[in-house]
Structure 1
């Protein structure tokens, strides 16, 4: 997958001439060049579906940590040299436990959304060019289908993909759907808390807060800049590692690669004005911490940690109570929890839900498309309601 490949897709715009979109695949390291990286970041700022995990400041360090072999390519789509869309893709010889070759959007354990970055209004052009490329590119090999994990099902970007597949006779299927907590409301933080939690639970939180203040000087520290960022980052890594994630080996500090990614991501997000840090401190020491990436008009609750020795006071929940201030932050209308479905804490506090799912799409010629259609029907069962033809 080292040679750049191209395909073309064209469409007539409502008030103008026919324009052509060009899909281009390159090794991801090429996109570390300053000029390309600047184009990429500009695309992210105007993307119809925000996704910090595919922005250059997060994706490039992720690839450096987890794709040292350089198997991942960045597939970009351009119109007249202007970048309109981009996503990382990697071929695989297996699909879960099955030996089915497929081409997949590249994610890792600390990337929580798979939506490509696409300029608003150009979604159909992007998908058409990407699918045309996947049909014909030699680097795709014998992949039977394109697999898109963690796609936001509530976004026009995803609906347009299904509409395009239906209109062009290309089989596509939603092979998994789940919901995770979302914060989105016109209510004030106090009104939201009252609506989300019963009076008994709110009373318990007030009691826990009062008892915690008896332990020392309790304070809330909210930062949007890079002040003392290095010290704050190391404190978070230590706090997360001290808890159950550290014992399970899943804390960011449990491996050099994830610790480095965390440090780099927070530094770059702060530089771009995309970082919010929130901490609950007792006598100046953090007992609960939260990292949020700001990607207007949305945001993403990236990582949280709390001191388990204070668990009886629910410091993580108390911190999330303070985090409801996001409802009043200018330019931000929602926050994706990035949490697992049915999360015992955040699901009880955030009442909205975001649907995400895995989507598989036919690519290639008649033989590959026929095989994929059969495989998809087997995966979805005898009555595959999630298929478009």
Structure 2
């Protein structure tokens, strides 16, 4: 009897050359996602693997119906502290990660891909950026993969509104007044200009400016992102150039004062959605709020290009929540242990998360930690020289 799997062939892609050959057919699957992720576009993932894949194992599972690519699960096995960790390509740098299916393929195909992915040799799995509607997580089930909220991910639905209408109705009069005041103050300092880079030739210099502003913004402060690292810079140079050549999804909006860049917003536009990615400003101009001014410039540009939805991603910062309709959280998925060491790591991490949640809910324990244990924590800091 014929089933949904009849006529399908499944394969594991384990070399860069094999993955590179998938090309355009891969991006068609990304665009068919319920919540398409630009971080799953072929050019983005291939560039990430080239710069972060050394010493790791490529494990991309694909499904073909005849010669047509109809499903894919972009995984890799990374080595961390002597253990093999199954994760999405993109690891912690990815958002809205999930398995990919052609529009006319059913859940059975996704379940089979998930089965193949879970059978990849590893110690435990750690998947970042999963949406709440993840087909991959649903196929595995909660007993095999536990989901933990990692980002609230605010979302703005435009519903055909113009930017001016959203600006006027979503922002308070006080906030609009602050924005106008900052614009006037900056204009008194010199000539203000906003540029939008989207072609390969425009993006290359705009990206270098973004690196410089990012470094200024985070100088002397802990920066857990990869954006400003040597490897991170090389990755973004390759990814933005490749995407600009074939997909036209990258935008870098830069605010300049007398030709000097003072703020940038780096976002991706895919299937009518703006995905906010990175922003920073020159702290020398902090009292003039150039980041605030440039954020609204970037939103206005995205609206003018016809976006109908904004994925702010990340946390619930005030400027996001003032505009957002709701949050659609992103999750980290932990589980699928295949070894004793893997089981111990998953159990330890999940128990640690549960303990932190319990402590946050209990006012008595919070008081004990912050007040009762304060002398011990101070003594520990002195003893460790920190």
TM range (shorter): 0.7 to 0.9
What do the CA deviations read for 1:126-183 (whole angstroms, capped 9, x no partner)?
4211233246x4x425x46x54321111x4xx2x5565556xx975543335412223
Asked if the contact 2:154/2:320 (under 8 Å) is kept, the reply is yes
For structure 2, the 5+ residue unaligned runs are 356-386
Give the number of aligned pairs. Answer: 353
How do residues 192-203 of structure 1 correspond to structure 2 at under 5 angstroms? Answer: 192-203=166-177
Q: 1:125 aligns with which of 86, 108, 111?
A: 108
Q: Aligned-pair distance for 1:109? A: 4.5
TM-score by length of 2: 0.76
Please, which of 168, 173, 193 is the counterpart of residue 219 of structure 1?
193
| Structure 1 partner of 2:253 | 278
In angstroms, what is the RMSD of aligned CA positions?
A: 3.8
The 3 A distance-change label for structure 1 pair 22 and 332 is farther
What residue in structure 1 maps to residue 26 of structure 2? 40
State whether structure 2 residue 66 is matched by structure 1 residue 84. Answer: no
Name the CA distance, whole Å, in 2 between partners of 1:264 and 1:123: 34
**2:127 alignment partner in structure 1:** 148
Which residue of structure 1 aligns with residue 359 of structure 2? Answer: none
- Which residue does the alignment assign to 1:30? 17
So what's the TM-score if we normalise by structure 1?
A: 0.76
Q: Does residue 207 of structure 1 match 2:181?
A: yes
Secondary structure of 2:45's partner?
Answer: helix
Task: Check if 1:355 corresponds to 2:329.
Answer: yes
- Determine whether 1:182 maps to 2:182: no
Residue in 2 aligned with 1:68? Answer: 54
Tell me the residue number matched to 2:242.
Answer: 268
CA distance in 1 between partners of 2:226 and 2:144 (Å): 39
1:308 corresponds to 2:283: yes
Residue pairs, 1:288-303, within 5 angstroms: 288-303=263-278
- Once residues 349 and 108 of structure 2 are traced to their aligned partners in structure 1, the CA distance between those partners, rounded to angstroms, is 25
Q: Distance in 1 between matches of 2:181 and 2:305?
A: 31
* 1:295 CA drift (Å): 1.4
1:103 matched residue in structure 2: 86
Structure 1 residues 241, 165: closer, same or farther in 2, change over 3 A?
A: closer
Corresponding residue for residue 324 of structure 1: 299
State the Cα distance separating 1:25 from its structure 2 match. Answer: 1.3
Per-residue CA deviation, residues 40-86 of structure 1 (Å, 9 max, x unaligned), is 23433444431222222111111111111242321222223321222
